[in-house]
Amino acid sequence: MSKNLFIVESPAKAKTIEGFLGKDYKVKSSIGHIRDLVEKEMGVDIENDFEPKYEIPADKKAIVAELKKLAREADTVWLATDEDREGEAISWHLFEALGLSARKTKRITYSEITKSAILRAIENPRTIDKNLVDAQQARRVLDRLVGYEISPILWKKVKPSLSAGRVQSVAVRLIVEREREIQHFKSTSSYKVTAVFHTEGKAVLKAELNKKFATREEATAFLEKCRTAGFSVSNLETKPARKSPSAPFTTSTLQQEAGRKFGYSVAQTMRIAQHLYENGLITYMRTDSVNLSGTAIGQATDEIKRLYGEKFVHVRQYKTKSKGAQEAHEAIRPTYMNRHGIDGEPQEMRLYDLIWKRTIASQMADAELEKTIVTIKASTADEVFIATGEVIKFEGFLKVYFETREDESDEDAQEGLLPPMKTGEGLTAAEISAVERFTHHPPRYTEASLVKKLEELGIGRPSTYAPTISTIQKRGYVVKEDRTGVQRNFNVITLRGGSVNAEVRTENTGAEKAKLFPTDVGMVVTDFLLANFPDIMDYHFTAKVEEDFDEIAEGKVDWRKLMRDFYKPFHKTVENVAEHSERQSG
């Protein structure tokens, strides 16, 4: 018989921790939640001040029975579930379901699964934080009330077996609204003029005109003017520039970057990150903090000095911007900064490498650049050509890591080393072309850009992004797919060798890769909910509820009061819609 029963959520976590603790500890897993709101009914006693009705699901009864027996035999029960609200709620449910006594129960938290972190947590136990539990209960109860009362209306008014959810419906609204913007978008064209010049030293210089032309006639007239023009460098401006590294990863920035760099879905990123965390390789992966511990910063700077030298070190302490973020928590980082890579599945190795590089880069010096802007004038025109170049003078953090952007374009002007030139130098135009370009509709969301938007609006928290995005696809409101583009003609007018020629070329446009599209059902349900439940579908209202949950977690608001304030007007709307709204079809 072990003196100590140590309970965590997952078998993988249990296995890692078991290696750190001696024979006096028995480490067991609850395999996730062991209690939830009852399935077959509302599960919330509204008359009794929103008292939740919990049950132990059939597939958890054996685990609970085993843990009960072990708890009776142990001197101390350690509840060592995750450090967020969900983890706190699991600990509380274990306390209640196992009939534990406060005298022999200790709650501990840690942000990484390393021997030193676990032993330090054991030395600093606390009691269950009921405020965190209440914030989680409030989310669960409110979501159940919304789902349970609105879904039957959807069955009657739209079609059977549909469901509504407080956060999922708002996420679908974003995708529906974006699709409608795209449907109503009218593309316009203009002519972008670029030139290839030769310097006196016969080097090649690419430049772009500082004006676009609205019509083919205007573009042609400009090229005709250039036929007899002389070109020269009218201004040469060189100025220093700096690039700073991004903050270490939060849940949402990791989901975004893994999506952009590797094409991972949000759920896939979380699955891989969870595995890395449970094996003691990274810190807890559900966080909205960009904070790094003093120890982590110390390890990172030691590593940077060793690998790249003192000049590359720049210690930074990032501040978390998101509301409700807990600074005590840390950003996602490797548990040991001197572990540059890991063995394992290719996806795990890739994600670990990304986290290591991002963390190390966050403590490195700015990259120092030199930006050169060359202005080229034509003797026969008022418009000027601009060439830009960027040279890295000192790599700084770019030696390790470069962040990708969702909206990177292939059409950017030349960036790189420009040939040597001086003001007043004459240039020869080898070719000037005016290419018809079209305005783009707003981009459809990827999973990564949807997470970014939800975070910007304050909707959801690190633990909810992945489940929300999975749910809206599972329910058939949204599909993620590739779509082929269509052929489009465009005009190209070229001045070469003293003559101006026009031709029509074709290109493929509008191809989409792994983008989120609303289904017909998703659009009909969104329209119905917007017309009948404007509050539930309102972005600000949804964000405000998240702030209310944060206040419950901080002990500032009573969760039952939040339920009372929400439910009365909401239920009235439900009754009104059930009685008076029209049946929808689409």
Interval 446-460: pLDDT, tens = 999 999 999 999 998
Give the model confidence (pLDDT) of 435-447 as tens digits: 999 999 999 999 9
The mean pLDDT value for 493-516 works out to 95
Alpha helices by DSSP H, 378-506: 447-457, 465-474
Give the model confidence (pLDDT) of 381-408 as tens digits: 999 999 999 889 999 999 999 877 765 4
3-state secondary structure of 184: helix
Q: What is the DSSP letter of 105?
A: E
Active site residue 284: yes
The answer on pLDDT for 586 being more than 70 is no
Give the integer Cα–Cα distance in Å for 53 and 39: 10
Strand residue runs (E) in 19-124:
25-29, 36-37, 44-45, 51-52, 54-55, 76-79, 105-107
Give the model confidence (pLDDT) of 13-39 as tens digits: 999 999 999 899 999 999 999 999 999
Check: CB of residue 374 under 8 Å from CB of residue 413: no
The whole-number pLDDT of residue 581 equals 79
What residue type is assigned to position 318 of the chain?
A: Y
The answer on pLDDT for 259 being more than 80 is yes
What residue type is assigned to position 508 of the chain?
A: N
The answer on pLDDT for 175 being more than 70 is yes
3-state secondary structure of 6: strand
Give the integer Cα–Cα distance in Å for 334 and 408: 28
Element (H, E) at 558: none
CATH, range 137-184+442-477+519-580:
1.10.460.10
Element (H, E) at 152: helix 130-157
Where do we find the tokens 């942000």? Answer: 111
Strand residue runs (E) in 367-425:
367-378, 384-394
Q: Is domain 4-128 in CATH 3.40.50.140, yes or no?
A: yes
Query: What phi-psi label fits residue 522: left (phi over 0), alpha (psi between -120 and 50 degrees) or beta?
Result: alpha
* More confident position, 277 or 322: 277
User: What are the distances in angstroms from CA 6 to CA 71, 132, 340?
Assistant: 9, 21, 31
Paired strand residues for 512: 483
DSSP codes joined into one string, 238-302: EEEEEE-PPPPB-HHHHHHHHHHHH---HHHHHHHHHHHHHTTSBS-S--------HHHHHHHHH
Give the integer Cα–Cα distance in Å for 274 and 86: 15
The answer on pLDDT for 563 being more than 90 is yes
How many Cα atoms are found within 13 Å in the side-chain-facing hemisphere of 64? 20
Could you tell me which of 85, 75, 89 has the C-alpha nearest to residue 30?
89
What is the bridge-based pairing of β-strands 4-8 and 76-79?
parallel
Could you tell me which of 502, 401, 474 has the C-alpha nearest to residue 191?
502
Could you tell me which of 205, 182, 236, 265 has the C-alpha nearest to residue 446?
265
Residue 479 burial (CB count, 10 A): 14
Give the integer Cα–Cα distance in Å for 41 and 49: 17
The answer on pLDDT for 414 being more than 80 is no
Q: Where in the chain is CATH 2.70.20.10? A: 189-244+367-438
CA angle 199, 205, 206 (to 5 degrees): 150
- In sequence order, the 6+-apart residues with CB closer than 8 A to the CB of 504 are 489, 490, 491, 492
Check: CB of residue 225 under 8 Å from CB of residue 380: yes
The mean pLDDT value for 506-512 works out to 93
Q: What is the DSSP letter of 458?
A: T
pTM listed for this prediction: 0.91
pLDDT tier at 544, thresholds 50, 70, 90: very high
Check: CB of residue 6 under 8 Å from CB of residue 26: yes
- Which class is domain 251-362? mainly alpha
* More confident position, 281 or 319: 281
Residue 12 burial (CB count, 10 A): 17
The whole-number pLDDT of residue 22 equals 86
Where do we find the tokens 């958890």? Answer: 60
The answer on pLDDT for 327 being more than 70 is no
The whole-number pLDDT of residue 372 equals 95
DSSP codes joined into one string, 479-527: EEEEE--EEEEEEEEEEETTEEEEEEEEEEE--EEEEEEE-HHHHHHHH
Give the integer Cα–Cα distance in Å for 32 and 45: 25
Where do we find the tokens 């972005």? Answer: 539
Check: CB of residue 447 under 8 Å from CB of residue 516: yes
What residue type is assigned to position 360 of the chain?
A: I
- Percentage, residues of the chain above pLDDT 90: 89
Largest Cα separation within the chain, whole Å, is 97
How far is C-alpha 82 from the chain's CA centre? 21
User: What are the distances in angstroms from CA 550 to CA 131, 423, 480, 536, 559?
Assistant: 10, 60, 32, 19, 11
The answer on pLDDT for 415 being more than 80 is no
How far is C-alpha 168 from the chain's CA centre? 16
Give the integer Cα–Cα distance in Å for 145 and 545: 14
pLDDT tier at 328, thresholds 50, 70, 90: low
The answer on pLDDT for 413 being more than 50 is no
Q: Where in the chain is CATH 3.40.50.140? A: 4-128
CATH, range 189-244+367-438:
2.70.20.10
Q: Which two tokens stand for residue 546?
A: 């998240």
pLDDT tier at 325, thresholds 50, 70, 90: low
The mean pLDDT value for 41-58 works out to 96
Give the integer Cα–Cα distance in Å for 105 and 94: 11
Give the integer Cα–Cα distance in Å for 93 and 54: 9
Query: What phi-psi label fits residue 396: left (phi over 0), alpha (psi between -120 and 50 degrees) or beta?
Result: left
Choice among 284, 308, 445, 477 that is catalytic: 284
The answer on pLDDT for 308 being more than 90 is yes
Q: What is the DSSP letter of 214?
A: S
Q: Where in the chain is CATH 1.10.290.10? A: 251-362
The whole-number pLDDT of residue 403 equals 79
The answer on pLDDT for 576 being more than 70 is yes
User: What are the distances in angstroms from CA 555 to CA 49, 143, 389, 496, 580?
Assistant: 19, 21, 55, 73, 40
* More confident position, 581 or 487: 487
